[in-house]
Each structure stands twice: as structure tokens, then as C-alpha cells.
Chain A
């Protein structure tokens, strides 16, 4: 998003503001700058207020985690005991590892199938490919809950709920439609001539995907990876049902189970929540532009 940095009072107020009833904001005359500055001040404070609302959970989690349960009830004092006992209450290391494993495997599958399908739907159309594409993308609208029972029955009958496999496959299947949609949209943006040039240069189609299209798809791959990572890392339902062995629970599920039990101390839960939220937050802040791109790629911009 290339925007010029906001300049001082001479900057024309970007138009299209419902609250600005002062009339057209075509370049402001200096006489009106005071009013404009006041308006900007009010806006700034408003944004700070919204920021406070949005950041409240982090504030709550951090402060609470530095209390004991008793301190949390009274609201006085501070302690790091919930951090020191966190590891004993929750197998946090194992759960982080589980989350990582499951995320990595699911994302790997999603990437492989969505890249190849996206390339096929955009550059290697076959008879009926448009229909297959629409059906695949339509699967995006099916909530897991609506097929939860048969899904659970199938996966457990195959004996896949006893290890990571079942959850990984379900995550992969649920993530594939949107990922395929993103990859297809992305590859459509590549000129057909690029593929033709590669073919004239002597590549087969699979080799064109591997040597020409794939290196160009890195931004889209990043988008899919980040979106799916956050999605899977933060998911509850699949991990809850398709991982029967508690030792294989990912961190989000582990926390949810503890929380629903209502016996665990709130400060420890909050410490655990912070730990669980950290990886996703780091990924979010680090790859924000890929997320934004992914969110809006469907709009065709």
C-alpha cells in the first residue's frame, strides 16, 4: 500500500468521510486549518480509544498471568507463580510441538494440492475444469459442523483418530478449497504467454509449473501458508474430536479443555493463552501484507 506519508495541516482531507459535514474537503484554505487540526485531534483520540478496546484482551491476559489465583480474585499484588507452574499444569512444550507438527503437515499437503490444482484450473484447462473448480470452491461454504458426524465416523473407522493423521487430513481437506481458490486466482494473473514462452523454450507442462510458475507463486504460497497456519493453529473442533490421544492435543485444544473444566486457575490459563497466541501473533505481524492480500485476492484487486 504505497501511500504518501500524511503531511501537516495543508494536506487535503481525503474525501468520503461521513462525519465531516463541513462541506467539500477539496484542498483546505489555511483559514480552515485550525478546524481541520481539531478534527484530526478528535479522530486520533477516537482511534486510540478503539485501539484500547482491541488491545484489552492482551492487557487482561498479561496482567492476570502475573497474579496468583487469590490475587486475581482480589485484584491486588503480583506474582510470577503462574508462569513457573505453567509447565506442570499444562504439557505446554508437548502441545506446542503437536500444534507445530500438525500445522506443518497439513500446510504441506494443502500447498502441494492447491498449487497443482490452481495451476491446472488457470493454465491447463481441460474439459469440465471450470465445473470442477466451482465445485471445489463451493466446498469452502460447507461448515465442518454440518458434516461432522459422518466425518468423525469415517475417520475413526479408518483408525486415524489414534494418531495425527486424521486431524492432518481433515485440516488439509478443509483448507484446500480456499487455498485452491487463491492459487487459481493468482496463477490467472500470470500472462499465458509466459507459459507459452516456457513451452516454446522446451519445457513440458509439469516442468513449466515447477521451473517457471512455482518460483513466481512465492507470494501466493506465503499467503496460503500464513492464512492456514493461523487457521489451524487456532482451531478447536478438529483437534478436539479427531485426536483421541490427549498426549497429541495441540495447544489450543489443550487450553480449551482446561478452560471448560473450570477447575484450572485463571492466571495459569492466561499465561497458557499468551504462550499459545504468541506464534500466531508473530506470524500475523510479520506477514501482515500476505494476509491482507489473501483476504482481498478474492475481490479481484
Chain B
């Protein structure tokens, strides 16, 4: 196994479009790093550059300490799992796995040992003689994994390996891949557009957008401390509620006002994010996660400066919880929600986002569609962003 280093790696296509810009990322030996982002963010290009299928325009890529920019794929000793599995249709499962070893003139009994071991790990032993056509999607996925495993490579590269599976199988395979990766201790780069996959699988998650790395962090930190508006809105489902507000100092307290609503910034929050003091009297984007909202009946002690007067527009009962999509009454139209900010940054490219807030309430919260409700925000857990740069304020909180 080996570590992989991107050192200001850039990919510019002949037509001048740049797919990856100045990507710097250190992946430790045995680490599972997920590259995540919307389509066209450069994550797959980055992966293919590691595989040697895509040339590097500038910068340096090192695998196991050796500069790999111009190494041929076969010299890199990496294995790749493709989105459509790319199994050899005419070969049996056994031969699909054995093929790369045969090319490398690995002794026959060693090939056999490795293939059978991989088949055992993946539960493919009884399918070894079958052709890929005779397998289910999940089994094909396993064969693709097996083909990588038998190589015992320096690193595994996986390009959206689960996206062709149905939802339930995807959840199963997610855990399966993570389990195998930990068992083998294999350096792995995993590309996905699905932030849930990214959060559940990666030791660290690298969020990319427009060819630029936004943030690399452990999943929890990514969730708790998004570096900018994009990461805040991309990671987490439902997405973080984001709204443009004015930050006003009043008798020693900070309030963020948006529309008719006003939330007081708690002392804990102020201590954690001293940078926001400089924004008093200015505009910020304030964010709060849907689970940091409760209905007022279950938090009767909450002060008025934590309460929102909401109109419930859609109520989604999921059994274990209720997702309440709400607006802030008549002033709604005047509010600049996070979606707008993001859209401006994308040049209007992304799809229009919901103009509603979302609260994740307890299963018995007394909310009804079309009715008013009072909601309480956990103001210890507010997020702040600069509306111009989109960068998080006070990310340094530990």
C-alpha cells in the first residue's frame, strides 16, 4: 500500500476548459478518502489522473513517494473499479479476476489462491464459473471489487461504483466496501456524487466544485464546520437552512435579523466564533441545521429571541421524525435564502433551490400543513458565512 499525493495538480483540456485546478491533497497509507461533488466538479478527472488514464497538465502526482505523472497505468500498480464495472463479458468470474495477474505472469497457484481468497471475502465462491451476464447487479459489483482486490495493488480507485445499484443494495454494498477496505487496510480513493455515501464511507471527505477543492475533512467536521456556503449546502440532507441576515448589536448582544424574524446569537456561539464580532452592523449569511430546530411545545423554556414564527407548508412524516418545510410568513418573498447565494456563485447554473426552510421535528410534533407554528432554534449551533466570499466565519472553533 502507498500514500498518494496531489501537489497542485491541474488538468486543462486542449479546448482550454480546466477540469481540475491546483488540487493539493495528501492521502495517507491505508486511508479511505472520498471525492464528492456535483457532476462536472472534476472528481472523476482527478481519479483518472491517479489511474494514469488522464494526463496531468501541471503539478505533480506522487504514488508511494514516486512521481507518477508520466507513468503508464500498468506501471502504477493501482486497481480501479469502474462505474459500469467494465467486466470482460466473455470471461468467467474467475478469469475476470485472474486476468490482470495472468498478464503479470503471476504463478498459476498464486493466482488461484488470490482469486479464491477474494471470492471468499466477497461471497462469490459459488459463482466463479459464471459469466458476468448471469450475475445480478450486486454480484457484478462484487466481481469488479474482486478484480481489484486480487491485484493487491498500491491503491484502489473507485469511480461511483454503487451508482448502478438500486437503493437498498447500495446501502448494503456501502457497508460492505467500507468493511473490506478496513480489512485490507488499502489506500482508497472513492468518487461519488452522493454525499450520504461520502459521509458514511470516508475516513476523510474531499468536497470539490468546479475543479476546485472546497474542503477536506473527516465527515463529522465537514458537517459541523463547513468551510464555506457550498459545503454547508452540499453536505447534509436535508441541506442546512441558510438565509441572508443583518447582524445587529443591541445592548451587548448580537442579533441576526431576516424578515420579521430575529435570532439572538448565544454566548457559546460568540465565544466559538469571535470573527463574527467584526460583522456587527453588516450582512452575513446565517445557517442552522434542520435538526437544530424544535417545536416550541417541547422547548417551553426557550426565550423569544430563539423563536421563529413559521408557516408550515409541507409536512413529511417519516415515522421516526417529521420533516417540516416552512416559510416565515408574509415576509418570505423578501428573504434571500442560501439557494440564491449559491446560485449566484454558480452563475445560475444549478437548479433552483427550495425557498423554504426545513425543520426536523419529533414524530409527535403538533404541526399541520398550512398552519402556523412556533419553532425554536438552537442558537448555540448557528453557522455564519461571509455573503461575498461565501467563507465560513469562525471555523476555527474546536
Contact between B100 and A216 (Cβ–Cβ < 8 Å)?
A: no
Q: If the complex has contacts A202-B74, A215-B90, are A193 and B82 also in contact, measured as CB distance less than 8 A?
A: yes
Q: Which residue of A lies closest to B99 (CB)?
A: A201
In the assembled complex, the Cα of A207 lies from the Cα of B74 at a distance in Å of: 13
B352 within 8 Å of A (CB atoms): no
A194 within 8 Å of B (CB atoms): yes
Contact between B86 and A194 (Cβ–Cβ < 8 Å)?
A: yes
Query: Chain B: how many interface residues by the 8 Å CB criterion?
Result: 21
Contact between A193 and B83 (Cβ–Cβ < 8 Å)?
A: yes
The A interface, classified by DSSP as helix, strand, loop or mixed, is: helix
Task: Give A101 Cβ to nearest chain B Cβ, in Å.
Answer: 31
B78 within 8 Å of A (CB atoms): yes
Contact between A191 and B89 (Cβ–Cβ < 8 Å)?
A: no
Contact between B86 and A203 (Cβ–Cβ < 8 Å)?
A: no
In the assembled complex, the Cα of A135 lies from the Cα of B52 at a distance in Å of: 33
A197 within 8 Å of B (CB atoms): yes
In the assembled complex, the Cα of A203 lies from the Cα of B72 at a distance in Å of: 10
Q: If the complex has contacts A202-B100, A202-B104, A216-B89, are A196 and B82 also in contact, measured as CB distance less than 8 A?
A: yes
Task: Give A197 Cβ to nearest chain B Cβ, in Å.
Answer: 4
A residues less than 8 Å from B52 (CB atoms): 199-200
B46 within 8 Å of A (CB atoms): no
Task: Give A127 Cβ to nearest chain B Cβ, in Å.
Answer: 10
**B29-42 to A contact mask, C-beta < 8 Å, 1/0:** 00000000000000
Task: Give B257 Cβ to nearest chain A Cβ, in Å.
Answer: 53
Contact between B103 and A191 (Cβ–Cβ < 8 Å)?
A: no
Query: Chain A: how many interface residues by the 8 Å CB criterion?
Result: 16
In the assembled complex, the Cα of A183 lies from the Cα of B321 at a distance in Å of: 57
Contact between A200 and B80 (Cβ–Cβ < 8 Å)?
A: yes
B residues less than 8 Å from A203 (CB atoms): 74, 103
Contact between A200 and B90 (Cβ–Cβ < 8 Å)?
A: no
B residues less than 8 Å from A173 (CB atoms): none
Contact between B73 and A193 (Cβ–Cβ < 8 Å)?
A: no
Contact between B103 and A202 (Cβ–Cβ < 8 Å)?
A: yes
A residues less than 8 Å from B104 (CB atoms): 202
Give residues 84-100 of B contacting A (CB, 8 Å). 84, 86, 88-90, 99-100
Task: Give A219 Cβ to nearest chain B Cβ, in Å.
Answer: 11
B residues less than 8 Å from A200 (CB atoms): 51-53, 73-74, 78-80
Contact between B73 and A191 (Cβ–Cβ < 8 Å)?
A: no
Q: If the complex has contacts A202-B74, A203-B74, A203-B103, are A197 and B89 also in contact, measured as CB distance less than 8 A?
A: no
Contact between B83 and A201 (Cβ–Cβ < 8 Å)?
A: no
In the assembled complex, the Cα of A202 lies from the Cα of B83 at a distance in Å of: 19
In the assembled complex, the Cα of A192 lies from the Cα of B78 at a distance in Å of: 18
In the assembled complex, the Cα of A197 lies from the Cα of B51 at a distance in Å of: 10
In the assembled complex, the Cα of A160 lies from the Cα of B273 at a distance in Å of: 89
A–B Cβ pairs within 8 angstroms, 6 of them: A193-B86, A194-B86, A197-B147, A200-B79, A202-B73, A216-B89
A199-B74, A216-B88 given; 17 more Cβ-contact pairs under 8 Å? A191-B84, A193-B82, A193-B83, A194-B88, A197-B82, A200-B51, A200-B53, A200-B73, A200-B79, A201-B147, A201-B151, A202-B74, A203-B103, A207-B103, A212-B88, A216-B89, A216-B90
